[in-house]
Structure 1
Amino acid sequence: MDSSSPSSSRNSLDTGIDAAKLEAANRYVRWNLLFLLIIFTFLLFPIWMPFTPYVNQVTNVFIIIIIGLFQLIWLVATICAIRRTLAINSRNKLKLAKAQDVESSDATANCSANIRHIVAMTLYKEPMSVLQTTLDSLVEQKNAKSCLSVIIGMECRTPDKEIKRDEVYAKYENKFLRLIVTFHPSGVPGEISGKCSNMNYACRQGLQILRQDVEYNYEKHEHIFTNCDCDAVFDPEYMLELETEYLKLDSADRHSSIWQSIIIYKRDSMPFFVDITGVLRTFFFMGVLIPWNINPMSHYSLSVKLLEEGAFTHPAYQMEDIIALIRYTIMTRREIRIRPLNLISINGPTSGANYADEIREWALQIRRWSIGAGEVFHYFIVKTYRMPGLYLSISWATRFFIYYGLVLCASAIVSVVSPIIVQLINGFATEHDPLFISDSLFSTICFIFLGTQYAFCSSPPSLSAGISLCLVMARAIITKVLGVLQEDYCIGS
C-alpha cells in the first residue's frame, strides 16, 4: 500500500501543533538556560567556597558529601544494571530450556490473533543497507506476514526517494501484513527538521491509511506500536516477548506503559570514544533510565491508544525519545511507567569515513543529546501545571535533573577535579581551620573515592562524557542566544 506521493498535501493531515503559537513563543529566553546555569553553578562550588569566610571551613565536608552522594548513585545504578543483566540471562536460560521441549515451544510460537503490531521508523540519508538490516530483523519476527505492519517515513528531501521506496516495496511488500512509505513535506510551519516531525507525520498518515483499509479491519484488533531507528536490529522474539508482557497487564496499565528493551551498540572497529559512549549508554539504560522511570531511548513500544492520546511525537522538538515519557504523562494526565523487556536489541553507533569524521559525528550526536535534554527541561517547566500530581512532578524533575544535569555532566568532573582544585586553592586562600575533615584526611578520602570510581567503570569514560556534554551544551545554547541557530534550535513551548 502506497501513501508516499510527493504531492501529499501538508494540510491533509493535522500535525498536532499550533504554528502561530510556536511562532509567538520566546525563542531566546528559554528554561534550558536555567538548566545550564544550575549545572555550571554546581561545578563552580570548589572554586568560590575556599575564598568565602566561614563557608570555607566546611568546604572539605561539603565536597566529601557531594562526592559520596555521587558514589551512592553510581552504586545504585550498578546494582540495577546487574539485576537487569541477571534477568536477561535468566530469560535466555529459560528460552533454551523451552526450546528443548517441543510442546512448550509450539505453545508459545504464535502471537495472539487479536493483537497486531505496527513498527515505524524514519529515513533521511542513511544507506539502504542499514534500513534493509532493520527490515530483515523484522521479517524474522513470529507471524510477521499476518501480524506486523511497517511504516517507513522518508523526507521529501531524501535523495532518490522514489527509487528507495520502490526498492523497499519490491523486496519487502509481501513479507509484512502492510508496508507503508510516507514522504514528509518540508517547510511545514512550526516544525523543525528531524526525526520528531518525520515520525509524527508518518504515524498519523500510516494509521489513517490502516483505518481506511477495509480488508485490514483496524477496529477489530488491539495494536501495539514500536518506534525505532532505521539502524535497529531486533531480537527474533521481540514482538512475542512484547506481546507476552502486554497481556500480563490489565487494560489501564497496558495504556499507561512504555516497554524498553536493552540496547547495545555495535562495537566493530569503533574508535575508543565511540565505544566508551556506547558502553556507558547501555549501562545507563539498565541502571538509570528504566528503573528511575526517566525516559525511553532509541526504540521503544507502547499501545497505539497511548500514542494517540499522547498526540504522537512533537514535531517542534528534536529528540522524540527523551521527551516521550514526560509528554505522554502531560498529555494524558496520568503516570506513565517504563517497563523493561528482558532481551537485547542492537543499534548502530555514530560512524564516519575517517577518524576526523568519527570525531565530528560523535560530537554532533552528543550535541543532539545535550540539546534534547535542555529542550525537554524547558518543555517540562512550561507544561508542569498539567502534570497529574505535585509529587509526580517534583519526583520526575528531580530524577531527570540528577541524571542529565549531575550524573552525566558533573559527577565525574566533581569527583576527579574538585579535590585537586580545592587543595590548590587552599594554598592561596585565607588560612582557616577546616571542620571535622582536615586537608590530609580530605586527600585520603578522595583517593578512596577515586578508586571506587574505577570500580564502577565510571571515572575515565564518565569524565570524558561529562566534559563533552557540558561544553557542547554550553556552545549550543550560547550560540542559540546569539541567534545563529534560530531555525535549528527553535522549539515550541
Structure 2
Amino acid sequence: MASSLPSSSSDSLDCGVNAAKLEAANRYVRWNLLFLLAIFVFLVFPIWMPFVPYLNRVSNLVIIVTIGLFQLIWLIATICAVRRTLAINRRNKLKAIKAQDVESSSDTETSNSSTIRHIVAMTIYKEPMSVLQATLDSLVQQKDAASRLSVIIGMESRTPDKEAKRDEVHARYKGKFLRLIVTFHPSGVPGEIPGKCSNMNYACRHGLEMLRQDANYNYDKYEHIFTNCDCDAVFDPDYMQELETEYTKLDHPDRHSSIWQSIIIYKRPSMPFFVDITGVLRTFFFMGVLIPWNINPMSHYSLSVKLLEEGAFTHPAYQMEDIIALIRYTIVTRREIRIRPLNLVSINGPTSGANFADEIREWALQVRRWTIGAGEVFHYFIVKTYRMPSVWLSITWATRFFAYYGLVLCASAIFSVISPVVVQLVSSLAAPEHERLFVSDAVFQAVCFIFLGTQYVFFLIATILVRWNLPVPGDGGNGYNKGLRGVTRGLVHWVLMLPTILAYSLVELYSFFELALRGKNVCKHNAASKSNLVLVKEDGNS
C-alpha cells in the first residue's frame, strides 16, 4: 500500500499553471447575474402587474396559472419518485429471494473472473476519523473488496495531524482493499480554490498515476469503474455489484457516456426538524427530478475511468464537483452524458451543530454553498456552451437546470406563498375599480387554498416514500422513523415542510444576491460542519 506519489511525477499532471488558465476564463463577466435577474423579475411581477392598465385585470389569472405550473412540476416529480421507489423495493424483494437460492455460489465464480475493477475516491479535511471509518467500513463489506476494489483518500496538506490519520487508516484497513492510497493536496496552487473539487482533482490524478506505475497491479489488463463520494457516505453492501451489473448491460459507447447515481438518504441519530425535512426533500428530488430530468449527480456517483479522464477529472477552480460533473463531462467530451439510476439506497450524513443555534447556522451555510455552487455552474455552462454537442441539448439542459435550481428550489415557495397576498393588496390599492377578467377575487382565494392543499398532498407523499418505503441499509428495525415516536415526528415535520422550504428559498435568494455582489470572491468551499455527525453506533448499526 502506498501513501503518496513521488514529486517527480507531479509535473505531468494538470495542476498549477494549467489550473490558473482554467480559472482565468471570463473572470470579469459573471453569467450568474442572468440567473439572478430571471429569478428577480419572476418574483416581483406580482408587485408591478396591478399598476399596468388592462394587465391588472388578469393578474389573478396569471398568478393561478404560474402556481399551477409549479404544481404540475411537483406532480411530475411525485410520479417519478413513486416509480423509483417501486423499482427499489422490487429489486430489494428479488434480492431477498435470491439470497435463499442455494445456487448463488455460481455468482462467486463469475465475479472472480471479471475483468472489471473498482476505484473509490473521497476527500477529507477536518472531519472526524469516525466519519471516514463508517465510509470505509461500508466499502469493506463490498463483494471481493480485497481483490477488486481500490480506495483513494485525498487529504489537504493543511489537514490537522494528516500523517497520523494516514497511518491510522493504513493500520486499520491493511489488506482489506486491493490498494489503499492516501494523497496530500498542496495548498496555494495558482488558479485553484480550497475544497473538494481541487482536492479530488489532485487525488484522482495522482492515485491513477500510482496504479499505472504499480507493476503488480496490471492496470491495462482491466476495465475500471470510478466512484466519487463524500467521506460521510455509507454504501449499500451491494453497491459495487449492482453498479457492475448495470454497467455491463450497456454497450461500449453507452458505458462511457453514463453516470450512475444511487438514491441517497440523509440520516443521523437525531436531527432538528429543518435538517430532517431538507434531507427528506433532497432524497425526494433525487428520485423525482435530478435523475429523471438528467440535471446533475449529487454527493456520490459512479462513472467509467475512461469518462473521468476524458472529462478532465474535476475542475479545481469550482466548488461543487457534483453539480458541475454532468455538464462538464458533456462539454469536454462533446457528447451527451446520461444519469442512470441504481435501484438501491446509500446514506450520507447531513449537517450537524453543537446546539440548536449552531444547527441553524450550519444548515444555512450548506444551503448557501449549494446555491452559490449552482450559480457558478450556470456561469461555467454559459461560457462553454459553444462546445455543447448541439444547440437543442444546450437549451433543454439550461431550461431544466434553471427550472430546478432557480424556480423549484428558490422562487416557487416564495412566489406561491407571498404573491397571492401581495397581488390582492396591491390590486386593491392600484386598481380597485376594475373587475377581474376570468377569475374574481373570491375564486382566486379559493383556488389558492386548493393549491395549498394539493401542495401538502405532495409533501405527504414525499414523506411516506422517503421515511417509510425506502429500504435503508443497516436500519435494523429500530430506525429514526420507526415506531410511534418516529411516525409522530414524521407527521409533525410534514406540517412544518412549507415554512422550512420557504426559509430554504429565502436563504437561496440571499445567496444569489451575495454571489452577484461579491462575485468570484464568494465562490469558496466553506463546507458545513460534520464534527458532531455520528453515522455508526457502538453496536455497529448505521
What TM bracket, shorter-length normalisation? over 0.9
With over 3 angstroms needed to count, the CA separation of the structure-2 counterparts of 1:17 and 1:238, relative to structure 1, is farther
- Does structure 2 conserve the Cα–Cα contact (< 8 Å) formed by 1:152 and 1:181? yes
> CA offsets per residue over residues 418-445 of structure 1, 9 Å max, x none?
1111111111112322221111111111
Give the 3-state SS of the residue equivalent to 2:335 in structure 1: coil
Q: Structure 1 residues 130-139 or 263-272, which shifts more?
A: 263-272
- Does structure 2 conserve the Cα–Cα contact (< 8 Å) formed by 1:267 and 1:275? no
Give the 3-state SS of the residue equivalent to 2:262 in structure 1: strand
Aligned residue number for residue 97 of structure 1: 97
Q: Is residue 461 of structure 1 aligned with residue 496 of structure 2?
A: no
1:211-250 to 2 correspondence within 5 Å?
211-250=212-251
- Provide TM-score, normalisation by structure 1: 0.95
Cα distance in 2 between the residues matched to 1:259 and 1:176: 22
Aligned residue number for residue 310 of structure 2: 309
Structure 1 residue 466: deviation in Å? Answer: 1.5
- Does structure 1 conserve the Cα–Cα contact (< 8 Å) formed by 2:145 and 2:178? yes
Aligned residue number for residue 463 of structure 2: none
Unaligned runs of 5+ in 1: none
Q: Is residue 70 of structure 1 aligned with residue 84 of structure 2?
A: no
> Which letter does structure 1 place at the counterpart of 2:441?
D
Cα distance in 2 between the residues matched to 1:192 and 1:432: 56
Aligned residue number for residue 206 of structure 1: 207
1:288-307 to 2 correspondence within 5 Å?
288-307=289-308
1:361-376 to 2 correspondence within 5 Å?
361-376=362-377
Give the 3-state SS of the residue equivalent to 1:48 in structure 2: helix
Aligned residue number for residue 322 of structure 1: 323
Cα distance in 1 between the residues matched to 2:192 and 2:521: 18
Aligned residue number for residue 274 of structure 1: 275
- Does structure 2 conserve the Cα–Cα contact (< 8 Å) formed by 1:3 and 1:180? yes
Aligned residue number for residue 135 of structure 2: 134
Cα distance in 2 between the residues matched to 1:356 and 1:470: 21
Aligned residue number for residue 418 of structure 2: 417
> CA offsets per residue over residues 125-174 of structure 1, 9 Å max, x none?
00001001100000000000000000000000000000000111111131
> Which letter does structure 2 place at the counterpart of 1:436?
F
With over 3 angstroms needed to count, the CA separation of the structure-2 counterparts of 1:305 and 1:9, relative to structure 1, is closer
Aligned residue number for residue 257 of structure 1: 258
Give the 3-state SS of the residue equivalent to 1:113 in structure 2: coil
Q: Is residue 436 of structure 1 aligned with residue 438 of structure 2?
A: yes
- Does structure 2 conserve the Cα–Cα contact (< 8 Å) formed by 1:27 and 1:486? no
> CA offsets per residue over residues 226-272 of structure 1, 9 Å max, x none?
00000000000000000000000000100000000000011421111
Cα distance in 2 between the residues matched to 1:281 and 1:10: 38
- Does structure 1 conserve the Cα–Cα contact (< 8 Å) formed by 2:152 and 2:180? yes
- Does structure 2 conserve the Cα–Cα contact (< 8 Å) formed by 1:119 and 1:151? yes
Q: Is residue 38 of structure 1 aligned with residue 46 of structure 2?
A: no
Cα distance in 2 between the residues matched to 1:447 and 1:353: 39
Cα distance in 2 between the residues matched to 1:178 and 1:294: 33
Cα distance in 1 between the residues matched to 2:58 and 2:434: 10
Aligned residue number for residue 184 of structure 1: 185
Structure 1 residue 14: deviation in Å? Answer: 2.0
1:53-64 to 2 correspondence within 5 Å?
53-64=53-64
The total of aligned residue pairs comes to: 487
Give the 3-state SS of the residue equivalent to 2:254 in structure 1: helix
Structure 1 residue 37: deviation in Å? Answer: 1.4
Structure 1 residue 459: deviation in Å? Answer: 3.2
Cα distance in 1 between the residues matched to 2:525 and 2:95: 46
Q: Structure 1 residues 458-467 or 368-377, which shifts more?
A: 458-467
Structure 1 residue 487: deviation in Å? Answer: 7.2
Structure 1 residue 19: deviation in Å? Answer: 4.4
- Provide TM-score, normalisation by structure 2: 0.87
4+ long deviations beyond 6 Å: 5-9, 486-489
Give the 3-state SS of the residue equivalent to 1:151 in structure 2: strand
Cα distance in 2 between the residues matched to 1:331 and 1:28: 22
Cα distance in 2 between the residues matched to 1:151 and 1:121: 6
- Does structure 2 conserve the Cα–Cα contact (< 8 Å) formed by 1:10 and 1:185? no
Cα distance in 2 between the residues matched to 1:19 and 1:231: 28
Q: Is residue 450 of structure 1 aligned with residue 452 of structure 2?
A: yes
Same amino acid, percent of matched pairs: 77
Cα distance in 2 between the residues matched to 1:70 and 1:418: 13
Structure 1 residue 336: deviation in Å? Answer: 0.3
Aligned residue number for residue 408 of structure 2: 407
Q: Structure 1 residues 246-255 or 469-478, which shifts more?
A: 469-478
1:103-122 to 2 correspondence within 5 Å?
103-104=103-104, 106-107=106-107, 111=111, 113-122=114-123
Structure 1 residue 106: deviation in Å? Answer: 4.4
> CA offsets per residue over residues 173-201 of structure 1, 9 Å max, x none?
31000000000000111000000000000
Cα distance in 1 between the residues matched to 2:158 and 2:238: 35
With over 3 angstroms needed to count, the CA separation of the structure-2 counterparts of 1:277 and 1:8, relative to structure 1, is farther
> Which letter does structure 2 place at the counterpart of 1:269?
S
Cα distance in 2 between the residues matched to 1:312 and 1:87: 31
- Does structure 2 conserve the Cα–Cα contact (< 8 Å) formed by 1:5 and 1:183? no
Cα distance in 2 between the residues matched to 1:155 and 1:184: 5
- Does structure 1 conserve the Cα–Cα contact (< 8 Å) formed by 2:212 and 2:219? yes
Give the 3-state SS of the residue equivalent to 2:430 in structure 1: coil
Structure 1 residue 107: deviation in Å? Answer: 2.6
Cα distance in 2 between the residues matched to 1:34 and 1:105: 58
Residue of 470, 475, 479 corresponding to 2:509: 470
- Does structure 1 conserve the Cα–Cα contact (< 8 Å) formed by 2:26 and 2:383? no
Cα distance in 1 between the residues matched to 2:38 and 2:311: 30
With over 3 angstroms needed to count, the CA separation of the structure-2 counterparts of 1:271 and 1:131, relative to structure 1, is same
